[in-house]
Amino acid sequence: MPEFLREGQAVSDFMNPDKIVIGFKNLNGKNFARKVFQYFKKRTLFIETNFQTAEMIKYTNNAFFSTLISFANEIANISEKISGIDTFEVINALIADKRITTLMQKQKIIPEFTTYLFPGCGFGGSCFPKDVKAITAYASSVNAATPLLNSVLTINEERPRQIVLLAESLIGILKSKKISVLGLAFKPNTDDLRSSPSLEAIKILQKKKAVISVYDPVVRYTKLKSFGISNVNTCTTIEKCLKNSDLAIVFTKWEEFKSLNSKLLNKHMKRPLIIDGRGFLDKNKFRENEYYKIGYKK
C-alpha cells in the first residue's frame, strides 16, 4: 500500500486522499487492507492490483512530478541565455492553455499539478530523488532504457550550480565574498534537508572560498554536520544573516522571506543584491539591479 503523503501536509493528505492503492498477493491480504481503509471506501477511489503494479504506481507518481519540475528548469536554462525572457511568464502562458486550465461553469480550474511546473533550484526531499533513481536503476537491471528520467535527474543535479554561476556573474570571483543563504529545507513547512539544493550550492560556494551565513526558521543547525556542511555562520534572524553580506540567495519559499525588500537589504548588506532562487518574491519591492531571479536574464 504505497502512501501519497507530501511533507508538511501529511495529515491533510491522509484524511483527504485522491486515491488509495492496495497491492495484494492473495484474497486475505486484500480483505485486510480493505478493513484498514474502510473509513475511506465511499470517500475516494480505491485501486486494487498486484504488488508490482502498486509499486510502479508510486514510482510513476513521483517520477511524473519530478519530470514537470525538470521540464520547467530546462526551459529556464534556455531562457537564462537570452536577455528579456521571463520563464515564469512563459510557464503562466503555458498553464493558461485550455488543455491544462479548464472551464467549469464559467470558472477557470487550474490543476494543482501546475505548481510543479515552475522553475527553481531543483527538487529535493526523500521521495522524488530516491524514487526516480530507484525506477531508473531497476530499468537498467532489466535492460530498459530511461533517457527521459535520466535527464530529469541530470537537470535537477545541475540547478544548484546554475545558481552559483549566476552569483559569479553578479559579483565576480567568490573568494572571501560573504554569501547569505536564506532557507535550508528543500521546501517550506518542513525541516527536511535530504537532497536539499541549498546544501549542494553551499558546498560549491565553499569550494570557491566564499564565506557563508545561513538562516532557516525551522531547521536545527546541529543537523548540518551530518549532511557534510560545516564552517558556516548560523543565524537566528534574517537580519543577522544579511549583515555585511555581498549577496543573498533565497533557496526556500518560506512565507517569512516575503518580507524582504530594498530597505532591509540596504540597511544590513554591504551591497543590496539578492537572487530569488524560487522566483516567488515581489520584484517591485526592490530597486533596479538589486533583484535577480532564476529563469530570467536582464
Beta strands in 101-218 (DSSP E): 102-104, 107-109, 178-182, 211-215
Each residue of 8-41: pLDDT tens digit? 777 887 888 888 898 888 888 888 888 888 888 8
Cβ neighbours of residue 196 under 8 Å, at least 6 residues apart?
124, 125, 184, 185, 186, 227, 251
Q: How confident is the model at residue 288 (pLDDT cuts 50, 70, 90)?
A: confident
158-293 CATH: 3.40.50.720
CB 48 within 8 A of CB 30: yes
| CB of 248 closer than 8 Å to CB of 171 | no
pLDDT value of position 104: 84
Dihedral of CA 160/132/118/126: which sign?
Answer: negative
Range 32-35 contact pairs with CB under 8 angstroms and sequence separation of 24 or more: 33/1
Cβ partners under 8 Å of residue 11, min gap 6: none
Alpha carbon 74 to its chain's center: 14
Question: pTM surpassing 0.85?
Answer: yes
pLDDT band (50, 70, 90) for residue 2: low
Count CB atoms within 10 A of the CB of residue 105: 5
Interval 37-96: pLDDT, tens:
888 888 888 888 998 999 999 999 999 999 999 999 999 999 999 999 999 999 999 999
Residue 160, pLDDT > 60, answer: yes
Note if 127 is an active site residue.
Answer: yes
Across 33-47, b (16+ Cβ under 10 Å) vs e yields: beeeeeebeeeeebe
* pLDDT tens string 175-209: 999 999 999 999 999 999 999 999 999 999 999 99
Helix axis angle, 51-79 to 147-171, nearest 10°: 30
Neighbours of 279 (CB within 10 A): 21
* Cβ neighbours for 136, distance < 8 A, ≥ 6 positions apart: 146, 149, 150, 153
Residue 1: the pLDDT is: 53
Q: What percent of the chain has pLDDT over 90?
A: 80
C-alpha span between 215 and 197 (Å, rounded):
15
**CB of 159 closer than 8 Å to CB of 120:** yes
Q: What is the pLDDT of residue 36?
A: 85
Mean pLDDT rounded to a whole number for the chain:
93
Amino acid symbol at 129: P
Are the C-beta atoms of residues 246 and 271 closer than 8 Å to each other?
yes
Look at residue 124 and tell me whether its pLDDT is greater than 70. Answer: yes
**Which of these is catalytic: 121, 127, 235, 241?**
127
In percent, how much of the chain has pLDDT > 70? Answer: 99
Q: Predicted confidence band at 171 (pLDDT cuts at 50, 70, 90)?
A: very high
Domain extents in the chain: 1-49, 158-293
Q: DSSP strand E in the chain: where? A: 19-23, 45-49, 102-104, 107-109, 178-182, 211-215, 233-234, 247-250, 274-276, 291-293
What does the angle CA 236 – CA 230 – CA 243 come to, to the nearest 5 degrees? Answer: 40
